[in-house]
A and B are shown apart, each in its own frame.
Chain A
């Protein structure tokens, strides 16, 4: 058997294991180990199991992941997200569908200090849902806007998935962060526009909330200064080259910790629960990262990605067709798998193809992440939908009905990002280095 054939068999075994509900990280590691052994031999394969865990875990580059997650946990515990919601609520609430728009906008702002979309959806679900209920919002629209809004978290920096993408493709994390910024904002605008269209056609879906005075608006805006300061320091610091991403994450987590103390929200219990929830998420992610690393060794000795890239490179079709095929594959996987796992699984396979076809790697990273993000709200396994279901207790069917218009908005935005790469690339282009 050629290494290439073993590579193909490996992929099928992997899919089979994942569907048998084996943990995704362990499935990747196991297939990587067995495949590597089949091509190179047992001794080197055991060597892989010996070296890879330590080198993967004891990494300064990857320490950015727990630190950014910790920053998000502190922000969650500090009550900053509730204040954010109240502010945007005051700014937009009086509009038709305004409370749903405020939910989306608050999600986008919270995403700026949190790397996780699940935390965003969970926090906003607790604050925004009762408000929308109070003003007789349609349940589908209310839950849909929270689930969709929560998914913005992945793209707006800091983003754990963009860090992972940067590490496996050796692209600058700073540039990826900047590249994600505008598409993330655009996503929020697309969602807000969707809500506008929906409530214009059927005003009963989202009745206007109370009016507030200009004074009120300004005062509540001032209350969000911590979020603004954190975002400017962390992302600005990376942009200007003052910090490496790891340092920015450490400073951001520490700053959020200090702000939570100032808000009198930090005590022994909240500190403990923030650290534990960070450990839980980090453990889950690193198990997948570890598996993906081992799988990566197998893929590279099987030469599968390179053979595929050369093969696809010879196709007599426009390179955009290949790109669309890749994104559709990623999107379909997004319906059944978690974003992190998809990025770790598909990027090593598709990345050589992207280089071969001379697409911009930063742009591709944003597209892949944007597409997997859609998977958070698409059936059958839309993680955000499950979270919202858990918090609000509304039936799954209603929430999926509620997110449908947002999925259409997602598709429109992705097409726009493909058609106009400058939307993604102009900000990182301005960055020094």
Chain B
């Protein structure tokens, strides 16, 4: 149930993230093209790319967690018994859930902080706070993915 919810969230987020990634490529190429061919660069392309990155990157992280494409070291732990490996795995995952959970909560607070500061981009004057939302959302969803992963490990520990 939770796993299905996680997969759905990840699918939605990555669809948005991948679309913005493609737009980011077109925008950068268009900016360069307009500047060199017609001598009229897009104003604000620089900050638009920044805002796009604020969406692409956190959503990509959620996707990569869903794909479980993790970089981790499989060296010493692999020599221990399976049961012990599972326990260590469960523990580290739980710590990771707690840490990313705190980070998501802090970023949620950050949305309000940036909103109150009335921060905007420098050329197009687009408010910054809406772009903190995907960061908070992405980290929150990442924490959820790790939680789902933890539940998987825990259930494997109960019935081997």
- CB A233 to nearest CB in B, in angstroms, measures 10
Q: B88-140: which have CB < 8 Å to A?
A: 88-89, 91-92, 95-96, 99-100, 102-103, 106-107, 109-110, 113, 131-132, 135, 139
A57 and B58 contact, CB distance less than 8 A: yes
Q: Interface range on chain A: under 10, 10 to 19, 20 to 34, or 35 or more?
A: 35 or more
A381 and B77 contact, CB distance less than 8 A: no
A contact residues around B96 at 8 Å (CB):
22-23, 26, 30
Which residue of chain B lies nearest to A15 when distances are taken between CB atoms in the complex?
B73
B99 and A33 contact, CB distance less than 8 A: yes
- CB B80 to nearest CB in A, in angstroms, measures 10
A contact residues around B31 at 8 Å (CB):
247, 250
Interface stretch (choices A43-51, A90-98, A348-356, A403-411) = A43-51
Tell yes or no: A313 within 8 A of B by CB: no
Chain B interface, >50% SS class: helix
Tell yes or no: A418 within 8 A of B by CB: no
Q: Once the chains are docked, how many angstroms separate the CA of A23 from the CA of B71?
A: 6
Also in contact, A286 and B57, with CB within 8 A (given A29-B99, A243-B32): yes
Question: B-facing mask of A147-180, CB < 8 A → 1, else 0?
Answer: 0000000000000000000000000000000000
Tell yes or no: B14 within 8 A of A by CB: yes
A286 and B60 contact, CB distance less than 8 A: yes
Q: Once the chains are docked, how many angstroms separate the CA of A228 from the CA of B72?
A: 36
Q: Interface range on chain B: under 10, 10 to 19, 20 to 34, or 35 or more?
A: 35 or more
Q: B37-78: which have CB < 8 Å to A?
A: 46-47, 49-54, 56-65, 67, 69-77
Tell yes or no: A293 within 8 A of B by CB: no
Also in contact, A19 and B77, with CB within 8 A (given A24-B72, A57-B57, A288-B71): yes
Tell yes or no: B25 within 8 A of A by CB: yes
B110 and A381 contact, CB distance less than 8 A: no
Tell yes or no: A58 within 8 A of B by CB: yes
Tell yes or no: A63 within 8 A of B by CB: yes
Q: Once the chains are docked, how many angstroms separate the CA of A249 from the CA of B100?
A: 31
The one of B24, B26, B75, B92 that contacts A380, using a Cβ cutoff of 8 Å: B75
The one of B26, B52, B54, B95 that contacts A30, using a Cβ cutoff of 8 Å: B95
Q: Once the chains are docked, how many angstroms separate the CA of A280 from the CA of B57?
A: 10
A30 and B70 contact, CB distance less than 8 A: no
Chain A interface, >50% SS class: helix
Question: B-facing mask of A259-279, CB < 8 A → 1, else 0?
Answer: 000000000000110011011
B58 and A19 contact, CB distance less than 8 A: no
How many A-B contacts if CB must be within 8 Å? 183
A67 and B28 contact, CB distance less than 8 A: yes
- CB A301 to nearest CB in B, in angstroms, measures 19
The one of B47, B58, B92, B107 that contacts A50, using a Cβ cutoff of 8 Å: B107
A20 and B70 contact, CB distance less than 8 A: no
Q: Once the chains are docked, how many angstroms separate the CA of A66 from the CA of B61?
A: 12
Which residue of chain B lies nearest to A242 when distances are taken between CB atoms in the complex?
B36
A contact residues around B89 at 8 Å (CB):
21
B70 and A337 contact, CB distance less than 8 A: no
Tell yes or no: B3 within 8 A of A by CB: no
Q: Once the chains are docked, how many angstroms separate the CA of A67 from the CA of B49?
A: 11
B contact residues around A278 at 8 Å (CB):
21
Tell yes or no: A60 within 8 A of B by CB: yes
Q: Once the chains are docked, how many angstroms separate the CA of A287 from the CA of B69?
A: 11
Also in contact, A50 and B53, with CB within 8 A (given A246-B28, A276-B63): no
Tell yes or no: B12 within 8 A of A by CB: no
A contact residues around B157 at 8 Å (CB):
none
Tell yes or no: B5 within 8 A of A by CB: no
30 A-B pairs whose Cβ atoms sit less than 8 Å apart in the complex:
A18-B73, A19-B73, A29-B99, A50-B110, A54-B107, A54-B132, A59-B50, A60-B49, A63-B24, A66-B53, A67-B25, A70-B21, A243-B32, A247-B31, A249-B28, A250-B24, A250-B31, A254-B26, A255-B29, A275-B22, A279-B21, A280-B64, A281-B64, A282-B60, A282-B64, A283-B64, A284-B71, A288-B71, A336-B75, A381-B74
5 smallest beta-carbon distances between A and B, as pairs: A250-B28, A283-B64, A283-B60, A254-B29, A58-B54
